[in-house]
Amino acid sequence: MTRTEISRRLRPHRRVLVVAAEAALDRAYANGDDTQPPSKTQFSRLVNLCGEATCAEELENYLRYQAGRSAKGGRDDWRMGFVDIIVKAINEALEKEIDLGELGREDQDLARVEAWRLYATYLARAYTYRDAVAKSSRYGGRHAR
């Protein structure tokens, strides 16, 4: 199956991935320092890596490696709690909502990577909005609560 065919197959499931990404970000912002997301640049790097990966495990390994390296903290770092939240959210979406069972092993890997690429894109978009709202709230903008 080609990447285009995989992408078409996932099209009806994009809503599930958008909802999973936004819910993961909501949980991250609500749960304290260990679950705060990294910078926008880090999300862009993840999206780019999704274009090169051959399996979802490669992406999870990258995120856990980055979280391990960043254990000292910092705005640009992947925090362990955040990585746990986003990995759990996509895995639940893939297991409960997106049936890849009839695909062969190689096509399942391709479909999971493509789902990750979409999910990472939606995470980056949700982060951009949440970050703007947070900045607006700090400065008394119209989105201040």
Short-list 7, 2, 25, CA closest to 122: 25
Q: What is the pLDDT of residue 48?
A: 96
25 lies in which domain range? 3-138
Q: Which amino acid is at 53?
A: A
DSSP one-letter code for 73: -
Q: What is the pLDDT of residue 145?
A: 41
In a domain, residue 143? The reply is no
How many domains does the chain fold into?
Answer: 1
Q: What is the pLDDT of residue 144?
A: 45
Short-list 100, 5, 85, CA closest to 55: 100
Which ranges in the chain belong to alpha helices (H)?
3-10, 14-30, 40-52, 56-69, 80-96, 105-138
Short-list 130, 109, 112, CA closest to 39: 130
In a domain, residue 105? The reply is yes
Contacts of 8 (CB under 8 A, 6+ apart): none
For residue 25 the two structure tokens come to: 């970000």
pLDDT along the chain (145 residues), means of 10: 88 95 92 83 94 95 90 70 95 88 87 96 94 78 49
Q: What is the pLDDT of residue 82?
A: 93
In a domain, residue 144? The reply is no
For residue 75 the two structure tokens come to: 């705005």
